[in-house]
Structures are given as C-alpha cells and as structure tokens.
Chain A
Amino acid sequence: MNISKQESYLMGLMCGRGHIFNKEKRIIIEFAHKNRFVYGIATCPKCGNLATEKKEDNEDKNLICKTCGTIVSKDSKKEYEQRDSTINSINNSVMPFLLKKFKIDYDIIGNDHMTFLVLEFKNDLESYRKITSLFNGKINFDSFEIPNTIYSSPKEYKIEFVNGLLDTAGFFNRGGWLPRDGENGTGRMRAYFQIVRNWKMPVLICNFLKKELSLPIHTIDWGHPNIRDSNLEDYYNTNPLSWGREHQIKFFPEYYNAFKIRLKHKQDMFNELKNYNLKVKFYNSDDCQPPSPIRINQIKAFHPGEKDIRLPLEIKGHFDSYWQVCCKLGCIYCKNKLNKSKNKNILFITGKDEKLDEKKIFNELNKKRRVLTKNIIKANYGKTKGAQKKIIINQRTNPEQQLYAPITIYFEGYLKRLLKTEVKAHDTSPVNLDNFIIRNGLFDDFDFCNQFKIRPDIVGFILKSHELGFIEVKIGELTIQDIGQLLGYCLVANPKIAILISPKEPSMNLIKILKAHPYLLSYHHDKKILIATWKDNKFKFFDLK
C-alpha cells in the first residue's frame, strides 16, 4: 500500500499515544507534559562540565560541578515551558503539515499535564479508513503495533514515522544521563521513547530503529518488577505497583540527527542533550548488543510482582537483565544469537556463550537471588507493603465507613440470589476502581474499567457476565447531591445495578421530588438507581412508582 509522508507521521503519532474513536471518526493524539515547566542541563561556568544537585547540606538547591567542584547556581538551568509550546507547535507545525494531505478539522483540548489533539475525519472518510485499517482493529496506543506498511516504505517515510513517535513518545529530560567519561568531560545524556502499557511496542521500536535505520539503542528500561524495582525499594516504601508505569527505550541523541521534532520545546531540549554529548565527545555508540554477560552484581532479588496479572504470559517470572525481557518479547537480535548458540539456555541465563553445567548454574543463581531477597526482607522487617500502608491509614473510623463491611456481605448475597450467578463484592472505597481491579487480580475479566478513576463505596463483581454493581453509602438523609454523585459513576460505567443507601429513611421531600421526576434516577435507557434504607441488616427499597 502506498502511503504519504503525512500518513507515516500520523501513524508515528498514533503508535506513541493515539486513540481511534470509530463512531465519531476521530483520531485523538495525546501529548503528555507532566509538569508545565521542565529544566535543562546545568553546566559549570568555570570548566563547562556537568553540574548536578548536591545531595547533602543543600537548602538552596544549588548544584555542584562533577569535575571541578564549583558551586553552580540552580538558576543556570534553562527553563522549558511545555503546555503553551505544545499548543503552539500543534497549530504552527504539526497541523500545517498534516493538512497538506488530510481534509480534516481539528481541535485542541487538555490541561496542564496533557494536551489532546482531536482530529475529525468526518470529511475525509477515505483517509480515516485507510489509516485505521492499518492498525488491525486495535483502537488504543496500548495495543498498537508498527503498521506493516511502514517497514516496506522508503527511508524518508520511515523517518517521518519516527518524527511522529518522537513528538508523542519522545522525552528529552536531563535526568537520564549515564556516568560515562568522554574526551572533554563527563556524563552522557540520553533521551528516551516512553511507551505506556504496551508490551510489544518497545521491542518493535528498538528493532525498527536498528534494522531499518541503522541507529543504536542503549537499553530498554522495562516496567517489569525485576528491572524497575529490583531492590524492592518501592515495594516496601512507597507503592508496590510503581514498577508498572511505563517502559523507556533509551538512546543517545547525537545519532538521531535525521529527525525533525515538530514540538518546539522538545526539539530544543533534544538539541541541548545532543550538543552536550557532541561537546564532551564519545567514541563508542554503546549500542545494545544482546545477550550481554550478566555480572554477579546484576543478579536481582525475587520480587512479589513477578507473577502480576498485568505482565504478559511470556514474561511472568524472574529476569536479571533487561535484554532477557526483550528476548522473550521477540527481539530479533537476541533470538538470532541464541539460535546460533550451542549453549542456548546458559547463554540466556548468564549472557555468556559457554559450555557449563546448566543445573549447577541455575541453582547457584537461584541461591544468590534467595540470599539477596532474604537480606532485603530482613532490612525491611516490620514494614508493611507501601500500598497496604495507605489502605490502613484509611481504616474505617467514621460511621459511614463502618457500614461498608456489613453492607458488602449482604450485597454479595443479594446479587447472588437475584442473578443466580457467582458474585464477589468488595469495599472498594480506599482506591480508584481501576486500581482496585489490578490489585485484586480482576483485570482479565474487568479490563473495560481501565479508565475508571472512580470510587464507589462498594462494588459487586458479577464474574460470569463481567458486569458491575455499585453501592454508594450515606450516613445521613439522602440528598439530590448524593444521587448526582452516583449518577456520574453510572453514566460512565453502566453498572447492572446501582443502589444509593442510608440507614436513615429518605425525606418525604426527596420522595416527592423523585416521584415527580423519576428520570433523575435513570442511566443507560432502562436502568435506574435504586434508593434503599439499611435496616435490620438488609436493604429496604423504596418503591418510587
């Protein structure tokens, strides 16, 4: 299939952060900018080398030159504004380019953390069908793969595809530098592609850049517990699930000169990193050449998240190095080397192509991992997992929360009797529903709740039909405001049943209003919020007919 440069670029944007809205004939692109301002590299005014933040005794947050020790003012870092720059770049660079090909309308919406570009294809259905068909029925960036047509297109089209990827998934923050000495200084800057919730895309991008454009990749920082939280620090101290946020494909910017980043602040930040590396001068491309030997200090402790439901089947388990994850997820460079080796298994677990006793090596490595794990557990003795800690803080102390437990038990039985099917009900109030589902192994059956950052007090999970039941508990007399709150959840999540309940009977005034305006309780055609009183440990529903 022939494609244009604009189509290649759009596919790059989509692979980075695109959504397809089929009914609306919209393609939506996310441009993430977590903080409105980000800061560039600080260099020493004396010797020109990298200055970083002092760790101790540093109330002024001043910086110190890593080479000559000069104190450097924090103000020496260049400030980059991200939100206005994103919007201006979309209007002045991204859209003028896309409009050369597409007959589309567009709009921009967002907040300080994210800008959404809304592309309306209602007047260019041909282009819409062509582009969306290349993603094989997938509708979100977390499941997209690089379209086949990109691989067979000429080099300049491949470059446009990467331009799109860089605009959405490329990040050029100063923090990702590597401790390496160059000819004229120290520290080597790295940029990265940030890939969210998509386990196939990192290897696809890495292999595409290496094979199709002969570009080096340094490493992939996988959102896998062994790679991202290898010493279980987050597990014990902050959030046991923090490893699962994203993957980062790291690269050295000085090799990526062929690309045009259309977001101005990103191009400026990219240039700053690139120019620093060019000035310091490095002669090694540090290209990932898997498998590489795994040193003894690279062996990782076991992590409880290794069998997490969100990990794809291929990588449920323990890994000591990022390239082992890449290999399991289809890296052609890893696979080729392993396939050629006579010591395939040893090569995979050690990174060394040697004829060794497989069982002995396996046992030795496991022993080492067990010791590491034991030491970490010992050092964190008495600590509770980060997430549990947060939930304990929310222990049931107020009268409303004390009702959650008995109502949850009753609700589970009620739904089982009503629907004659398996139901599990939980007090979900301490965390958002999407988070609760992940933490409780319900993701496979309730993945449609992925975007639901809502907190109904109690949720019934109807396991066979993959439906939900919501309960919102109030301690006082129910109000119109309470109905509105539950209605907001119901209009989005469309539960099979939704109950607003209080131990107090609804006022006659509310009953009067609801009788006169029964549509207030409606959501999704024929469904209605039920109003109930919690009395004698059961539901007493109000007949509002």
Chain B
Amino acid sequence: MTTEKENFTNILKTWLENFLRNKYSPEYEIKIIIPESNLSKLAIPEIKQVEDYSSLEFKPDILGILIKKSTKKIELVFLNREVSAIGLKKIGEMHCYSKLAKPKISFIVSSKGLPDEVNLLLLNEDIENSLLTYNKDKKILVFKYNIKSKSVDKNSIFPINKKGFLLE
C-alpha cells in the first residue's frame, strides 16, 4: 500500500515530467528520477557530468535531468514535496541544496500550500529574496498542487512574478 507521501510523489513526478516536456522538449532530452540515495552516490552517468557532483550530499524528492541535445550539457531540476504546509525549515533545506547544485529550476510543492505566516513573510521582498534566491536571479518556486483538480493552484505561487512561467 502506498503512503500519502509516496502517492503525492508519484503524482508530482508525472506533473514535473509533463511540465518539463512542455517547456523544454524541443531542446532537451528529459529524465525524471525519484532518487534513492544522495545525488553524489547515484549510479546515473548524467549526474557524474555535473560540476562538483561529489558535493551533492543530499537528495531531492524528485530529480529532473535535462540533457541539452546540441551540446549534451546537463542541467538539474529539483522538486521537494510536502503533504503538510511548507515551513521555513523546508524552504531553508531547499535553499541549501539549490545554492550548492545551482539547478535550472527548483520547486517546493505542497498539497496544503504555505501557512498564513509564511505567505505574509514571503510578501516582504527582502525576506522573499533571501529565502528563495539561490543563484543570481534564480529563485525557488513554491506552490500548492491541488490533487483533486490535478493542477497547480494559481493563487498559491511564489515568487508572485513567476506565475506566468509556471502556468503558461
């Protein structure tokens, strides 16, 4: 029997695959993995091509690997999922992973969204920048995924100005 977490992971694996295919399939080959060990120890040849991969002593819940068709350059996509509301602890965790690995996109997705107090904190630009920015202008994307309607809750997305990127 699958747990709520496993079930949500599987739902989001499919969502991420579709999302990345819609966005990047002409240029990139796309692989989606649910890692079973830290990325540094994953027996996947593409990971070994990532710069400083031995530092990746962690595992996101879902890993996307984008392989540029023209150059074979590898880019990563991280997705962490929560079946409860997303707290600062979880954002900090993803912040750390993303600073280290500089993925092309980094997601935190919850079936409950953000609690009120974190919503309010993230509406403060300084706090939003320090919590979500991980590589120059790259920011972690946080949103609620509605399991019933099988869609991103468009009124739950942070940073607010990334709504278009996520929904288009």
Contacts and interface: CB of A to CB of B under 8 A. Distances in A.
Interface of A: 19, 21, 23-24, 26, 28, 30, 87, 107-116, 118, 451, 453-454, 479-481, 483-492, 509-510, 512-513, 516-517, 519-520, 523-524
Contact of B155 (A110, A481, A520): A110
Interface in B141-167: 144, 155-158, 160, 163
A513 B130 contact: no
Those 7 A-B pairs whose CB atoms lie nearest each other, nearest first: A488-B92, A484-B96, A484-B93, A111-B113, A488-B88, A487-B92, A484-B92
A519 B121 CA distance: 23
Majority secondary structure of chain A interface residues (helix, strand, loop or mixed): mixed
Interface string B60-84: 0000000000000000000000000
Contacts of B50: none
Contacts of B160: 107, 109, 118
A499 to B, nearest CB: 15
Interface in B72-108: 85, 87-97, 99-100
Nearest to B59: A481
Interface in B109-152: 112-121, 123-127, 130-131, 144
7 contacts: A28-B123, A109-B155, A115-B155, A118-B123, A451-B120, A484-B94, A520-B96
A494 B93 CA distance: 17
A516 B121 contact: no
Contacts of A513: 55, 57, 100
A492 B93 contact: no
A498 B97 CA distance: 19
A488 B89 contact: yes
Contacts of A113: 116
B117 A486 contact: no
A24 B120 CA distance: 13
A453 B130 CA distance: 18
Contacts of B99: 517, 519-520
A23 B124 CA distance: 8
A309 B102 CA distance: 46
A118 B160 CA distance: 10
A19 B120 contact: yes
Contact of A491 (B55, B92, B113, B158): B92
B58 interface: yes
B103 to A, nearest CB: 14
Given A484-B92, A488-B90, A489-B92, A509 B57 contact: yes
A110 B156 contact: yes
Contacts of A487: 92, 95-96
Contacts of A111: 85, 112-116, 119, 144, 156
A109 B93 CA distance: 23
Given A19-B120, A111-B85, A487-B92, 15 more contacts: A21-B125, A23-B126, A109-B119, A109-B160, A110-B113, A116-B123, A489-B89, A489-B92, A490-B92, A491-B88, A509-B57, A512-B55, A513-B55, A517-B100, A523-B130
B52 interface: yes
A486 B95 CA distance: 11
Given A111-B113, A513-B100, A519-B99, A491 B57 contact: no
A485 B92 contact: yes
B113 A480 contact: no
Contact of B93 (A21, A451, A453, A488): A488
Nearest to A483: B96
Contacts of B112: 111-112
A109 B115 CA distance: 11
Nearest to A451: B117
A464 to B, nearest CB: 25
Contacts of A26: 123
Contacts of A492: 88, 121, 127, 130-131
A24 B97 contact: no
A480 B57 contact: yes
A519 B87 CA distance: 22
Contacts of B88: 454, 488-489, 491-492
A41 to B, nearest CB: 28
Contact of A451 (B114, B121, B163): B121
A456 B58 CA distance: 22
A109 B92 contact: no
Contact of A481 (B58, B124, B131): B58
Contacts of A109: 119, 123, 155-158, 160
A293 B51 CA distance: 79
